Amino acid sequence: MLGKLARWLRVLGWDSEYVKGKSTEVLLKKAKAEGRILLTRKQGLTDERLVFVENEKLTEQLVQLERKFRVLSAGEPFTRCIECNEKLEEVDKAQVKGKVPFYTYETQEKFYRCPGCGKVFWPGSHHEAMLWKLRKLKP
């Protein structure tokens, strides 16, 4: 339901876990234990830890969460792995040689690795495009 939103919250630097196949009761219990907010598209649920995401469109979802939690304004973009949610660690350029495309290695100076899944990130052209998209959403 909200997998794309979870990825974009991670892009924004927010700790956002995406769980499928668990009951709402189990997820709410986990959210309470971990001090998390549970986002859902499932209607008719009420709990202080639960936020109903009103729209199916990602941009509208982000605007709603900006109004409620300032997710676009207060996060630290590009500090989390978009795949597994771990905090990224800056790594020496030499450590990624052969693990990123040759052109990327030659043209980029900063690289970050996820300690969880090992994926390597860098501030390429997609980085600016994502920031531009996010700036357009801010009210």
Q: Is 63 inside any structural domain?
A: yes
| Three-state SS at 22 | coil
Per-residue pLDDT of the chain (139 residues; tens, 9 = 90+): 899 999 999 999 999 999 988 988 899 999 999 999 999 998 888 888 899 999 999 999 999 999 999 998 888 999 999 999 999 999 999 999 999 999 999 999 999 999 999 999 999 888 888 888 888 877 6
Q: Is 45 inside any structural domain?
A: yes
Q: Is 76 inside any structural domain?
A: no
Q: Across the chain, where does the E strand assignment appear? A: 38-40, 50-52, 89-91, 111-113, 120-121
Q: Is 108 inside any structural domain?
A: yes
Task: Say whether both 65 and 93 belong to one domain.
Answer: no
Task: Say whether both 56 and 94 belong to one domain.
Answer: no
Number of domains in the chain: 2
Q: pTM for the whole thing? A: 0.88
Estimate the crossing angle of helix 125-137 against helix 58-69, to 10 degrees: 70
Residue 45, pLDDT score: 83
The whole domain housing 32 covers 3-69
* Residue finishing a domain among 69, 98, 122: 69
